[in-house]
């Protein structure tokens, strides 16, 4: 490791002990930025890297709620307000039993760069709770969301901090959260994105992350004269991002052969067509069942406790969670002929896996660039809320597509190496950094 990165990381680790995912996210960015900052000393003198790695504000709170048996349950709620240099804090809420401070800090940190890349005026934030929605009734989820918002509401606002969905938070949860916010503040504002279409939501927001990651893959492939047509694609996850990545890949002529959840994955060599995808959507969004049921219904193979990366593919789209591709799996993907990785999830590849992709010089689109379509469309929802005018499906999709193309251009601008190889990691980190860093300098030492 570059000794300057090592020294910086020693400081980060001492200040944020035990927050492994946060260390990982900061290290990946520091490896791109430290050489860039050496060449641009104004950022060094203003200590931008040190400041950007320290949240502006961290809120941690108790979330008590009553379960269906009348028993008191206690969860922990968080909101990390990471950076507001270019706009209100913006980023999702995650409900998952693994949620802790380090995971939310990594997500908030990534969000700062991602939101800057979208070209829209949004700062970075992230929040959530260790609440596990699995096996909970709708009423329990509602009572949890109401309790969570009963504290969060005093810290957020349409011009202050605008949360949205992430793992475990979709339309149902955003509805409960919005209802409680409105009740407490007596205000109907765009304080959350991912809202229902009848009450201030944007068309295409549910589709946006998966569509965007697919558009980003198309842009990367085009640099090598390739496209999705006829390609075999492995997707992980079967939630919001995975579903709409699968939809768009199929529409553009690719064949999606895997889907997964935290128990295992299914392999459908004939491809998950639109009927089968509808089955997954109903299974996951309505019945809230397990992906194994797909294998039972369609008579395909199910791999218990395994991840899809052992299946031969041209393109991999991780769309489940962080650190879901390790070094060995990355090597196997490359060995099996994978030419492109477009990350729908946040930080799905370990640092070692990223290095495998970069050394093999395949097309590797890191999450902060490839999955930015979700938050970008949240930004478009904010715009529509401010104007009090909704856009059509076509208008929003076109804007999303243009934004993904522009993010790709930014990555090429900052990530193209002398031999022509595009290092999208450097491209996204430096491209996302510059605007935020300049804004921080302009606003003084705050």
- Site for ligand NDP contains 168 (CB under 6 A): yes
> Measured from the CB atom, is 214 or 346 closer to ligand 2IT?
346
Q: How far is the CB of 346 from ligand 2IT (least distance, A)?
A: 5
**Residue 445: exposure state from Cβ atoms within 10 A (0-12, 13-18, ≥19):** exposed
Contacts of 67 (CB under 8 A, 6+ apart): 73, 140, 143
Please, which residue, 150 or 258, has the CB nearer to ligand NDP? 258
91 touching ligand 2IT, by CB under 6 A: yes
Q: Is the dihedral of CA 244, 250, 254, 257 positive or negative?
A: positive
DSSP secondary structure string, 142-165? HHHHHHHHHHHGGG-BTTTEEEE-
CB of 55 to ligand 2IT, least distance (A): 16
Q: Is 426 helix (H, G, I), strand (E, B) or coil?
A: helix
- Residue of minimal Cβ distance to ligand NDP: 239
Rounded Cα distance, 99 and 81, in Å: 16
Q: How many residues bind ligand 2IT (CB under 6 A)?
A: 12
Answer for which of 84, 147, 193, 232 binds ligand 2IT (CB under 6 A) is: 193
Which of the stretches 23-31, 86-94, 306-314, 327-335 binds ligand 2IT when contact is defined by CB under 6 A?
A: 86-94
Catalytic residue, chosen from 90, 105, 114, 126, is: 126
> CB–CB of 162/381 below 8 Å?
no
Answer whether 276's CB lies under 8 Å from 291's CB: no
In the complex, the smallest distance separating the C-beta of residue 96 from ligand NDP, rounded to whole angstroms, is: 6
* Residue 91 interaction partner, one of ligand 2IT, ligand NDP, none, beta carbon < 5-8 Å per kind: ligand 2IT
Binding at 262: pick from ligand NDP, ligand 2IT, none (beta carbon under 5-8 Å per type): ligand NDP
Q: Is 385 a residue that touches ligand 2IT (CB under 6 A)?
A: no
Strand partners, 57: 81
Backbone angles phi and psi of 265, in degrees to 5 = -135, 160
CB 370 within 8 A of CB 208: no
Instruction: Tell me whether residue 126 is one of the annotated catalytic residues.
Output: yes
- Measured from the CB atom, the residue of 168 and 415 that comes closer to ligand NDP is 168
Query: Tokens 């929040």 — which residue?
Result: 127
x/- mask, ligand 2IT, residues 21-40, rule CB under 6 A, reads --------------------
Q: List the beta bridge partners of residue 63.
A: 75
Q: Of 87, 88, 92, 308, which one interacts with ligand 2IT (CB under 6 A)?
A: 92
Told to check if 347 binds ligand 2IT by CB under 6 A, we report: no
193 binds, among ligand NDP, ligand 2IT, none (CB under 5 to 8 A by kind): ligand 2IT
Out of 123, 308, 344, 379, the only residue in the binding site for ligand NDP (CB under 6 A) is 344
Helix (H) or strand (E) holding 80: strand 72-83
Taking CB under 6 A as the binding criterion, the range among 34-42, 306-314, 370-378, 405-413 that sits at the site for ligand 2IT is 370-378
| C-alpha span between 229 and 252 (Å, rounded) | 6
Enter the DSSP assignment of 239: S
143 binds, among ligand NDP, ligand 2IT, none (CB under 5 to 8 A by kind): none
Q: Identify the residue among 165, 308, 415, 431 touching ligand NDP (CB under 6 A).
A: 165
49 conformational bin, left if phi > 0, alpha if psi -120 to 50, beta if neither: alpha
Closest by CA to 413, choosing from 231, 223, 280, is 223
CB closer to ligand 2IT, 366 vs 374? 374
Among residues 274, 276, 318, 281, which one has the least CA distance to residue 299? 276
Residue 190: count of CB within 10 angstroms of its CB: 22
Task: Using alpha carbons, list the distances in angstroms from residue 387 to 189, 203, 410.
Answer: 11, 15, 28
Give the shortest CB-345-to-ligand NDP separation in angstroms: 3
Binding-residue pattern over the window 109 to 148 for ligand 2IT, x denoting contact by CB under 6 A? --x--x----------------------------------
Listed residue (96, 98, 104, 55) closest to 78, CA to CA? 104
Q: Are 228 and 235 in contact (CB under 8 A)?
A: no
**Cβ closer to ligand 2IT: 239 or 254?**
239
Binding site for ligand NDP (CB under 6 A): 165-168, 170, 209, 237-242, 261-262, 319-321, 344-346, 371, 374
Binding site for ligand 2IT (CB under 6 A): 90-92, 111, 114, 164, 166, 193, 346, 374-375, 378
Catalytic residues: 126
């Amino acid at each position: 490791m570059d000794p300057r990165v090592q020294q910086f990381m020693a400081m980060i680790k001492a200040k944020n002990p035990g927050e492994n995912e946060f260390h990982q996210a900061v290290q990946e960015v520091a490896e791109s930025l430290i050489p860039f900052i050496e060449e641009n000393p104004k950022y060094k003198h203003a200590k931008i890297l040190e400041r950007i790695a320290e949240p502006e504000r961290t809120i941690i709170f108790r979330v008590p709620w009553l379960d269906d048996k009348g028993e008191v349950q206690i969860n922990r709620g968080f909101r990390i307000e990471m950076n507001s240099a270019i706009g209100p804090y913006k980023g999702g809420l995650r409900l998952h039993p693994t949620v802790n401070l380090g995971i939310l800090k990594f997500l908030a940190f990534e969000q700062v760069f991602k939101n800057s890349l979208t070209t829209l005026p949004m700062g970075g934030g992230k929040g959530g709770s260790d609440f596990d929605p699995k096996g909970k009734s709708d009423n329990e989820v509602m009572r949890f969301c109401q309790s969570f918002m009963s504290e969060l509401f005093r810290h957020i606002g349409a011009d202050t901090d605008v949360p949205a969905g992430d793992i475990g938070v979709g339309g149902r949860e955003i509805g409960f959260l919005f209802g409680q916010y409105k009740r407490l503040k007596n205000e109907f504002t765009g304080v959350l994105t991912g809202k229902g279409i009848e009450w201030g939501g944007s068309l295409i927001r549910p589709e946006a992350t998966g569509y965007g990651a697919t558009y980003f893959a198309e842009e990367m492939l085009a640099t090598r004269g390739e496209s999705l047509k006829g390609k075999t694609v492995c997707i992980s996850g079967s939630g919001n991002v995975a579903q709409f990545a699968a939809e768009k890949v199929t529409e553009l002529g690719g064949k999606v052969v895997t889907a997964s959840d935290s128990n295992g994955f299914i392999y459908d060599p004939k491809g998950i067509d639109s009927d089968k995808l509808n089955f997954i959507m109903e299974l996951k969004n309505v019945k809230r069942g397990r992906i194994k049921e797909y294998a039972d219904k369609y008579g395909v193979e199910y791999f218990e406790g395994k991840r899809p990366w052992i299946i031969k593919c041209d393109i991999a789209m991780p769309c489940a969670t962080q650190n879901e591709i390790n070094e060995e799996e990355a090597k196997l993907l490359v060995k099996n002929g994978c030419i492109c990785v477009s990350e729908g999830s946040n930080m799905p590849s370990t640092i070692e896996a990223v290095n495998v992709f970069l050394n093999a010089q395949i097309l590797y689109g890191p999450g902060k660039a490839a999955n930015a379509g979700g938050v970008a469309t949240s930004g478009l929802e904010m715009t529509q809320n401010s104007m009090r005018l909704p856009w059509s499906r076509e208008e929003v999709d076109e804007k999303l597509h243009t934004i993904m193309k522009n993010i790709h251009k930014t990555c090429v601008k900052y990530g193209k190496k002398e031999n022509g190889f595009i290092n999208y990691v450097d491209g996204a980190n430096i491209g996302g950094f510059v605007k935020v860093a300049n804004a921080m300098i302009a606003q003084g030492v705050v």
